[in-house]
Amino acid sequence: MNFKQLNLIEPLLQAIHKKGYLNPTPIQEQAIPSILQGRDLFGIAQTGTGKTAAFALPVIQMLTTERDLKQKRVVRALVLAPTRELATQISEEFSAYSKGLNLRMLTVYGGVSQRPQTDALHKGVDVVVATPGRLIDLIQQGYIQLNRIEYLILDEADRMLDMGFIHDIKRIIVKLPARRQTMLFSATTTQEVKNMAASQLDNPVTVNLAPRATPPSLVSQKVYHVAQENKKLLLAHVLQDELITQALIFTRTRRGAEKVAKDLARQGIKADAIHGDKSQNAREKALKAFRNQSIRVLVATDVASRGIDVDKLSHVINFEIPEEAETYVHRIGRTGRAEHLGAALSFYSGHEKPYLHNIHKLIKHTIDVVHTHPFSTHHQN
């Protein structure tokens, strides 16, 4: 299939051609026709699948073909994103696709002076791409009206929920017209995401492009049976191995991530944590330190770990076994990339046995248990 078959207008086809895209990605192929038909959409897709164009192209088309040029410009499309980087990226794509179509974009995020943002709003804009916090500030100060919104896009909804934006999002949504078209995109389908989709989407089309989970072939996998209270001792013991040049450690909760990083630091192991409660700057700082190897260990929650691409990462350690078997496969896929060998070590205590069982079912084999460690409970699995 090519983009012409998606019923896009000529200026958009030219903009796509200019960017060098030949054929639509699966998410674009499935989402664009539904959005152009006015349907709500629930899109499950990873970053890097072309999902921004999947909503930007049809929304730009509908904004330009249904515009009353005699009326003053009002905000008709709102995109909410978890971070300023993503908001900026989305805005850039909107601008690139809408060249020559006389649409005005505005990116709204905190950490910078709000004056240029309020000036732009005063002149009139069609599309606002925003992080929730700063948008609420501008609404409260009366700079922005959302009562004419026709299109709402919630991008990376799982990350927004993980970062604690749920209340901000609810406060924003009550300001919008009930009659609107809503698109929600998420890389994972947690219960929270499903609840949000159920409450915000009206009879949506669901496009699910979450990859089928299969473990990377270059990753060796081992599990350690250990009492919950001994996990931190086992971790310190395991990290004595010099072959672990860098480790990405996963916990289930934000508090857990913070605690593990602090425990390691106390034992003289250079570590930091990234999770939804950390500020953008703190997360960036930790990631940078991990990438340039000034810290050896990064502890992360699943959602916060998205976007962590570290070349030649030697080890992934599951301090806690995830409840969803697919999550295990996504986690260990951070290592063993680009022809480099990797290793995944997983610690499990009694209550995590069912999770491990589900992982074995998904990956269709049983992971070897390491019994030769000082904290082994010597339970056969």
Overall average pLDDT of the 104-129 stretch: 94
Q: CA–CA separation, 40 vs 180, rounded Å?
A: 9
Strands of 177-307 (E only): list them: 181-186, 205-208, 219-225, 247-250, 271-274, 297-300
Structural domain spans, the chain: 3-208, 219-370
Contact assessment for residue 286 and residue 295, using Cβ atoms and an 8 Å cutoff: yes
| DSSP letter string, 184-197 | EEESS--HHHHHHH
Arithmetic mean of pLDDT, 90-119: 93
pTM of the full structure: 0.66
Query: Which of the four pLDDT bands, split at 50, 70 and 90, describes residue 312?
Result: confident
For 67-81, 190-204, 205-219, 341-355, which range has the lowest pLDDT when averaged over its residues?
Answer: 205-219
Average pLDDT value for residue range 150-160: 94
Local confidence band at 163 (pLDDT 50, 70, 90 cut-offs): confident
4 CB burial (10 A radius; 0-12, 13-18, 19+)? exposed
- 307 to each of 92, 196, 244, how far by Cα in Å? 19, 23, 21
Q: Give pLDDT, residue 380.
A: 43
Residue 111 clears pLDDT 80, i.e. is over it: yes
Of the ranges 141-145, 189-193, 356-360, which one carries the lowest mean pLDDT score?
189-193
| Comparison of pLDDT for 216 and 146, the residue scoring more | 146
Distance CA 227, CA 147 (A): 55
Q: Which two tokens stand for residue 228?
A: 């919950």
**Mean pLDDT confidence for 241-264:** 92
Q: Which residue has the higher pLDDT, 46 or 266?
A: 266
Whether the domain at 3-208 and the domain at 219-370 fall into the same CATH topology: yes
The pLDDT of residue 46 is above 80: no
Of 129-143, 198-212, 352-366, the range with the highest mean pLDDT is 129-143
Domain 3-208 -> CATH class: alpha beta
CATH code reported for the domain at 219-370: 3.40.50.300
Q: Say how many C-beta atoms besides its own lie within 10 A of residue 30's C-beta.
A: 19
Mean pLDDT of the chain: 90
pLDDT above 90 (res 331) = no
Q: Does the pLDDT at position 58 exceed 90?
A: yes
- In this predicted structure, what is the pLDDT of residue 381? 43
- Whether the per-residue pLDDT at 308 is higher than 80: the answer is no
pLDDT at 361 over 50: yes
Would you list the DSSP string of 95-128? Answer: HHHTTTS---EEEE-SSS-SHHHHHHHHH--SEE
Please state the rounded mean pLDDT for residues 276-295.
Answer: 85
Per-residue pLDDT at 282 exceeds 90: no
Q: Which helix (H) or strand (E) holds 288?
A: helix 280-291
Do residues 137 and 166 lie in contact, with contact meaning Cβ atoms separated by under 8 Å? Answer: no
